Amino acid sequence: MCKYSVLFFLGVSLVAQDLTPEEILTYVASHPKPESSITEIRLEITRKKKKKKKVKVREFTRYEKIYTSGKFTSKSLARFHKPKIVKGTSFLSWVYRNGKTDQWFALPKIEKAKKVKAKDRSKSFLNTDFTYEDLENRSLGSDSLFSLGSEQHEGNICKVIMAWPKDKSAYFARKIWVNSQSWRIVKIEYYSTETDKDKTLYVSDFIKKNGFSIAGKMVMEREDGDKTVMEVLSYKPDIGLQDEVFTKGFLIIK
């Protein structure tokens, strides 16, 4: 089943034509992915209150493994190491071939993997502007899709798609911009109602290495001025990770 992900979008150059939304997102999801990878990521969380701005910085390592057969399509583990207050905090995600996603997290003071419940998917991921739901992979069958035609974004022509979730979600809809030259998702607007926009994700600075590519920078901006910048510091594809890295037992290793 074809999937498209919020966190790491890949792209190749194709000729733009009158494609269906499903075909467009299939192109987005069909680019080569490394069997495994290690990515160092920096988070910058900005909060505005009473005209004052407060910035927190976090750094974590993301491990990922892609499966070409079996019941899983991918597994990933994020482990925070800076600053000291969040060191050891970890997040594990298993994506199944049937479209289901299981997620667990572990805090330094709690030596136990806690599963992210369905009702908690709309909650903030470690006080960022990303929710647990934002970190899930979505299969094409998860949303009802509609094409809005083409728009300019950052000087490039993009195909624009509306996506309404078929199952329970924190969002009423998402509006997705896909660059029609690179076939990368470059922008997503998240709506809490038909007219109320909650936040916007900007995806840029794609990094290419060994025939693979990932988004080097993602900025999630809320309508109230708060934002989270997720920036890739280093990317190592085809690193040869073993399955035990993506277990609940490994999640709580200090």
Residue 219 falls inside a structural domain: yes
pTM to 2 decimal places: 0.87
**From CA 73, how far away is CA 52, in angstroms rounded?**
43
Q: Check residue 109 and report its DSSP letter.
A: T
Look up the CATH number of the domain holding residue 154: 2.50.20.10
Residue 238 reports pLDDT greater than 70: yes
Q: Provide the sign of the torsion angle of the four alpha carbons 72, 26, 136, 38, taken in this order.
A: positive
Q: Looking at residues 49-58, what average pLDDT do you find?
A: 89
Residue 210 falls inside a structural domain: yes
Residue 84 reports pLDDT greater than 60: yes
Lowest mean pLDDT among 10-14, 144-148, 173-177: 10-14
CA 143 and chain centroid, separation: 16
Residue 129 falls inside a structural domain: yes
pLDDT tens column, 114-134: 999 888 888 898 889 999 889
Residue 1 falls inside a structural domain: no
Residue 61 falls inside a structural domain: yes
**From CA 179, how far away is CA 22, in angstroms rounded?**
15
Q: Do 107 and 127 contact (CB within 8 A), yes or no? A: no
| Higher per-residue confidence, 254 vs 226 | 226
- At residue 8, the pLDDT reads 38
Range of the domain at 22: 9-251
- At residue 253, the pLDDT reads 65
Residue 3 falls inside a structural domain: no
Residue 224 falls inside a structural domain: yes
Residue 4 falls inside a structural domain: no
pLDDT tens column, 105-116: 998 777 788 999
- Domains in the chain: how many in total? 1
